[in-house]
């Protein structure tokens, strides 16, 4: 499932490898609400940076679709992991790469990030 990019690294933020579940919901365009019936969907987050994330889902989501996502962040400091808290983000699908088993690797650009009070 590893996709490599042979060109120059174009990202402006350092990515951190992740292996966690992410919950997302389609916001726009409106036609996607009909497809999902407004229900939350689970996906696997692959990595995250200050500007966005990569995830794998079994849904073929069109580029430019706006997603709402929720996940929990942890801080890692000298091999010690501390709970940071739940986060809700809105992002735009910037890439959709088909994978094996009807899965898709999505590149998401954050348009809004909000920490949820616990």
pLDDT one-digit tens code per residue, 34-75: 345 567 788 888 888 889 999 999 899 999 999 888 888 776
pLDDT one-digit tens code per residue, 4-43: 545 455 656 666 676 666 777 766 544 333 345 567 788 8
Q: Does residue 22 belong to any structural domain of this protein? A: yes
pTM of the predicted protein model: 0.69
Mean pLDDT confidence for 89-97: 94
Burial tier of 100 (Cβ tally within 10 Å: 0-12, 13-18, 19+)? exposed
Q: Does residue 90 belong to any structural domain of this protein? A: yes
Q: Does residue 38 belong to any structural domain of this protein? A: yes
Which pair of structure tokens corresponds to residue 73? 């962040």
Q: Does residue 1 belong to any structural domain of this protein? A: no
Q: By residue range, what is the domain housing residue 24?
A: 16-115
Q: How many domains does the chain have?
A: 1
Q: Does residue 25 belong to any structural domain of this protein? A: yes
DSSP 12: S
Q: Tell me the C-alpha distance between 67 and 63, whole Å.
A: 11
Q: Does residue 71 belong to any structural domain of this protein? A: yes
DSSP-derived 3-state class of residue 22: strand
Q: Tell me the C-alpha distance between 55 and 77, whole Å.
A: 24
- CATH code for position 104: 2.40.10.220
Q: Does residue 8 belong to any structural domain of this protein? A: no
Per-residue confidence band for 92, with pLDDT thresholds at 50, 70 and 90: very high
């Amino acid at each position: 499932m590893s996709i490599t990019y042979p060109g120059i690294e174009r990202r402006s933020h350092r990515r951190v490898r992740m292996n966690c579940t992410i919950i997302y919901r389609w916001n726009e365009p409106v036609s996607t609400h009909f497809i999902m019936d407004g229900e939350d969907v689970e996906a696997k987050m692959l990595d995250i940076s200050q500007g966005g994330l990569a995830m794998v889902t079994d849904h073929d989501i069109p580029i430019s679709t706006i997603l709402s996502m929720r996940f929990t962040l942890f801080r890692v400091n000298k091999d010690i992991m501390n709970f940071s808290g739940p986060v809700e983000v809105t992002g735009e699908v910037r890439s959709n790469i088909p994978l094996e088993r009807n899965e898709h690797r999505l590149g998401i650009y954050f348009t809004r990030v909000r920490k949820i009070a616990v």
